[in-house]
Structures are given as C-alpha cells and as structure tokens.
Structure 1
Amino acid sequence: MSEPSPPTASLAPAAVAASKAQPPQSHAGKKAFAGKKPKKRPAFRIFEDIPKSGFLATAALSFVVMLTVWSALSYGGLMNPVFMPTPDKVFRTFFDQLGTSAYWHQIGISVFRVMAGFVLACVVAIPIGLFAGTYRHAEAFVEPPMEFIRYMPAVAFIPLIMVWAGIGESAKVLLIFIGCFFQMVLMVSADTRLVSKDLVQASFTLGASRWQAIQTVIIPAVQPRLLTTMRLMLGWAWTYLVVAELIAVNSGLGYTIMKAQRFLNTEQIFVGIIVLGLIGLISDRIFAFLSRRLFPWA
C-alpha cells in the first residue's frame, strides 16, 4: 500500500499557477519603491527616552539660555543696573560672600531651620497620611480639615505663631512645619491609596493580620512614592524659609536678602537667591540618588 503524498506536494502546482497568474511588477514600481527613503524619527516623541548625555546637554542648554537672556538685559542696557546687575558683578559678589565665614554661618542657620521644620513635618504627617490612606473612616475624619487648612497661606499664621512661640528659633521652625504638614498628609494619603488592593488581599489569603498587611505590604509598596513626596515637600520647605525669616530675625539667608534690599544691594539679593537655588538643587539630587539606590525597581 503506497503512502499518501504530503499536502505540500499537492499544493505545489496550484501555487506555481497562482504565481504565473499574478502580473509582473513594473520596472517603474520597483524603482519607486527602491528610491523611497524611510521616515525620519521625530526629535520629540511622547514618553520617549533619550540618552543621558543628551539629557545633560539639554539641561546645560537651558542654563545657557537663561544666562544669555540675563546678559542681554544687563549688558545691553535694557535694564537699570540698580535693578538688574551684570552677571560678572553678581558672580564676583558670589565668590566674595562664600569666601567669608560669616556668610557660611548664615547658610548653616537657614539649613538648620529648614531641616528642623521639614523633619518635624515628616515625623508627624507620614503616620497620619498612612492611616488616612489605609482606612476609609480615617480618610473621612482626617482629609476634610486638612483640605480646609491647606488653602490658608502660611503667612496668615505669623501673628498666631508669634503669640504661641514668640520670636525665637521655634517660631521659624513652626512656620516651616505648618507650610509642609497639611500638604504632606494629603499627599501621603493619596500615595497610600495607590497601593494595589490585590497585594493586600493576597496577604490576607496567606494568613496575614491587618497589622501584618500594613507592615509587610502597604509600607514597603508606598516607600518609593513616599520618597518622591518628601523630595517635593523639601522644596516647599525652602520656599517658606524666606517667609519664616521675616519674623524678627537677624540671621539667615532670608535676613541677608532683606537687608540687601533695604540698601539696594541688588547683586547681594541675586547671590542669596542663587545660593538658595543651589542648596535646593543639591538636596533634590540627594533624594534622586537615594531613590535610585533604594528603589531601583521604581
């Protein structure tokens, strides 16, 4: 008994006939297809990653543009030098100020005030935010007053702070704390609610208690977002520093800026602003480094 031929053998004549039936492609069509160039990828693509070198070059370009605009306004005489000093004058003042121990003392005082208010806000706000984000009853109890108070400007609390804490260092720390606390509670609560409910249910399936689910699932899952929230709130703490140093002070970067303003030393005002920006940028980069090292999966 002979074996049946494979299906490909029976289909081969039909395939040959079909190929003969197709009209041959014209020479002009082949030439047009061969001469068609692939589309060039656009420079700006949504959510597209770029090389690190390209990112750094673009970031440096942004500072160059800012310096160019500043130079054009000051050297070109478009602005009064009393209000817009030239970059070289500001940079000379910058290095002169940083060459004195007195200015570093002012920087140290401001850093202490910011970190004290920020750390105090983190210690109090993070547990409350975790509690409000985990339980709906806690959310209903905590978030409405936080939403109400967070729209009140921190400057409005200065008279009360002076009554409560006087005009010492505690008043400056308390103002920075108030500026950060209410926002941080709401942001931590929102971060906590983003934790996957499936992970929590899986922990219950494995026999975990409520506290064990919070300790082993919710807290580790929220840590990357929590670090990002702290990074943002530290920037807010620096913005409240100058406001805090308006309360009967004779030290700090905010004080040096206000003192320079009284005597129209605009270059010293620029120096104070630049120093604040540099300190904020350094602290921001530290948080970014910690985020990459501690939570590389995020």
Structure 2
Amino acid sequence: MTLRKLFLPKVDISPQLYLSLSIVSFVVLFLLWAVLTYGGIVPPLFLPAPDQVAENALLLFREFDLTQDILASMFRVTAGFLLAALIAVPLGILMGSLKVCEAAFEPILGFIRYMPASAFIPLFILWLGIGESEKIAVIFFGTFFQMTLMVMDVTKNVSSDLIDTAYTLGVSPRGVFRRIILPASLPGILDTLRITFGWAWTYLVVAEIVAAGSGLGHMIMQSQRFLKTSHIIVGIIVIGVIGILIDIFFKWLQGRLFPWTGKGGTV
C-alpha cells in the first residue's frame, strides 16, 4: 500500500500495520515520559521517572495488596455497568422502535444525563448509606442515561427499507421487531456497551471518593493526600490496562458474533 493510500478516507489497512502503529503510539508516549523525567525537565514530585513508577508498582502489589484494590474496583464498576445495561438496553430498543416510548422517556433521560453524577453522591449516601450500594449507584448513574440514548440511536438507524420489505412479505409487527430490528441492532448495541463500559471506569474515583476502604480510586485519592505521585500514576496505568483488556475482549466478541461488521479483526 502506498503512503498516499494510507490517508484516503475509509481505506482499510493490514492488521500488521494497524498493530504496529498502535505499538508505536505507546512507544512515543513512553519516550516522551522518559525525556521529561530523566532529562530533569519535570520534577519527580510532579512526574516520577518510569523506573520509580515500576518500583512503586511492585511495592504496592507486594506490601499494600493492590490486587484487592483492583478486585474491589472491578466488582463495583462491573456491577454498576451490568445493572445499567440490564435496564438501558431493552429500554433503548423500545425507544428506538416505538415513537410512543421515545416521546415518554427521551426528554426526561436527556434532561437527567447532563447532571453530574458527583452531585448526587450526598443523595446516594442519604438513600443507600456508605456501603457498596452507594458506589455502585454512582457508576450506574454515570452510564445508564448515555447508554440508553445511544442504544436508542442505534435502533433508530435500522434501515426503513428492511422494515417495509418485511411488512410487504406479510411479517407481523412482532416478527419485524424480533427478526429485523433486533438482529440489525445487536452489532451497534454491543459497540455501545464497549464504549459505555469505558465510561463506567471514568466514574471510579468519584464513586470511591467517600467512605471507601479499598479500590483503585481510594488508593489514588489517598496517594494524592500524601503526595505519592508514583502511586497515583500506578493506579492510573492499572485502570488503563484493564480498560485495554476490556476493549480487546469486546472487539474479539464483536468479531466472533458479527464478523460481517468488519470489526474485531484488529485491536
């Protein structure tokens, strides 16, 4: 493939080139980090060197049980995300399929989704206490509304020609929903779940900011209090690695379940 073709819109590239460019982007970021720290451009208090972060990562795993923090955070994020998906996916499909459902729910969901989840923490504490339920509620609130509206948009984008053809062939309204709308929406819905799972992780620190004794967000906030910048960066990197693994899983699942979409072949 010529260099000119690489910059043409919508032109595919080989999986090998895709993977190589992805690796190069991480290498460039690491080199920039090394130059800023080892070159003395940024003081260690603000940005520790890579070897300091690696040493502190080993320390956190060996002596401060970072594994338990990871498991606690994964449980909270996954529980909040799954609870949101359990309600948002069917509701979004109904809103995208039936105008009456869209009229009933879209305005109120669009209104609430602009409200920051952090502003509701005092109410969640009042209603649910300071246990796991409050933290899961923050994750749920941060992802549910966007997820519902995105699923609605995916469902609304199902081709009207397919639906009209099905009616012409005598398919019942229930059959159109089951055999046309739902199968055509599933690839986009899975992609929506992949994106919103990433959003769920962005609310982790907010969810664990109050009365948490474990979790990556709790560790990051405690490290900030004692100016342990290396620990903060370790927590951020761990969240990023988990996010990449989740993304890889969803892309693999997309490729296995819906190979015609062309997604999942690259990471």
Shared fold per TM-score greater than 0.5 = yes
The 5 Å alignment of 1:37-186 reads 41=4, 43-99=6-62, 102-186=65-149
SS at match of 1:226: helix
Deviation string 1:112-149 (CA, Å, 9 cap, x unpaired) is 00000000000011111111111112111111111111
What corresponds to 2:189 in structure 1?
226
Consecutive unaligned residues of structure 1, counting only runs of 5 or more, are 1-38
Which stretch shifts more, 133-142 or 277-286? 133-142
Structure 1 residue runs of 4 or more that deviate by more than 3 Å after TM superposition: 39-43, 98-101
The 5 Å alignment of 1:141-290 reads 141-290=104-253
Percentage identity across paired residues of the two chains: 47
What corresponds to 1:10 in structure 2?
none
Shift of residue 202 of structure 1? Answer: 2.2
Shift of residue 69 of structure 1? Answer: 1.1
Provide the alpha-carbon RMSD of the alignment: 1.5
Size of the aligned set, in residue pairs, is 260
Matched-pair contact (CA < 8 Å) for 2:109–2:145: yes
SS at match of 2:212: coil
Shift of residue 204 of structure 1? Answer: 2.1
Provide the rounded CA distance (Å) in 1 between the counterparts of 2:211 and 2:251: 35
Task: Work out which of the two has the higher radius of gyration on C-alpha atoms and give 1 or 2.
Answer: 1
Shift of residue 203 of structure 1? Answer: 2.2
Provide the rounded CA distance (Å) in 1 between the counterparts of 2:46 and 2:30: 16
Deviation string 1:75-115 (CA, Å, 9 cap, x unpaired) is 11111111111011111222333345821111111000000
Matched-pair contact (CA < 8 Å) for 2:5–2:11: no
Provide the rounded CA distance (Å) in 1 between the counterparts of 2:3 and 2:18: 21
SS at match of 1:297: helix
* One-letter identity of the residue aligned with 2:117: A
- Quick one: structure 1 residues 80 and 152, their matched pair in 2 at CA, closer, same or farther if it must change by over 3 Å? same
SS at match of 2:65: helix
* One-letter identity of the residue aligned with 2:100: H
Deviation string 1:63-82 (CA, Å, 9 cap, x unpaired) is 11111111111111111111
Provide the rounded CA distance (Å) in 1 between the counterparts of 2:224 and 2:3: 53
Consecutive unaligned residues of structure 2, counting only runs of 5 or more, are 262-267
Provide the rounded CA distance (Å) in 1 between the counterparts of 2:226 and 2:237: 19
Deviation string 1:222-257 (CA, Å, 9 cap, x unpaired) is 000000000000000000111100121111000111
* One-letter identity of the residue aligned with 2:250: F
